[in-house]
Chain A
């Protein structure tokens, strides 16, 4: 009984944070901010869903696959975000008008 409450609670929380992350993908101004909000929230939300499924299922085949999924997401999702942001900055996509400082572009100009 208590196991079902904790498991379904984790699934509810995960879906709520998934929704917040996608809302951030729509509302925030430029690509770097969108990448931040979406990567953090969607990774945490899907991790929460898989952890809830592990608690509901226990130590069987399904639960172990859910654990593998958590490890996999937490390793790959930040790596993909890093690759996309690096590529976007290299291909001269402008930052938003609200941006205060850009030390990466300053250093690249000094090098060339």
Chain B
């Protein structure tokens, strides 16, 4: 049963990769951005169906780091350096949010 699900996943991922890299006609950077967006879909799966609250916090933390890479690639395409400013601020806010969520999960106060 497990091996069947593994083979099914491999088939679905290879179909998606084929459509992304060989059928879709766009700039090479848009193909790379599509891969990061697929990864964000997996993160959203863990946010929605995660069994416990800690799984959702981990997903939000990982999502913030993925967004940094995505904004950096968009900035490389448009050749504008202010996207990197947005990425740094996003990472800072995401880090503080993860720490605050962790403290709330532990049932401590923020000034502890």
Contacts and interface: CB of A to CB of B under 8 A. Distances in A.
Interface of A: 11-12, 14-15, 18-19, 21-23, 25-26, 31, 34-35, 38-39, 42-43, 45-46, 49-50, 53, 56-57, 60-62, 65-66, 68-69, 72-73, 76-77, 79-81, 83-84, 86-88, 90-91, 93
Contact of A72 (B45, B52, B72, B91): B91
B55 to A, nearest CB: 6
Contacts, number: 129
Contact of A42 (B35, B38, B65, B76): B65
Interface of B: 32, 35-36, 38-39, 42-43, 45-46, 52, 54-55, 57-59, 61-62, 65-66, 68-69, 72-73, 75-76, 81, 84-85, 87-88, 91-92, 95, 98-99, 101-103, 105-107
A57 B105 CA distance: 42
A109 to B, nearest CB: 18
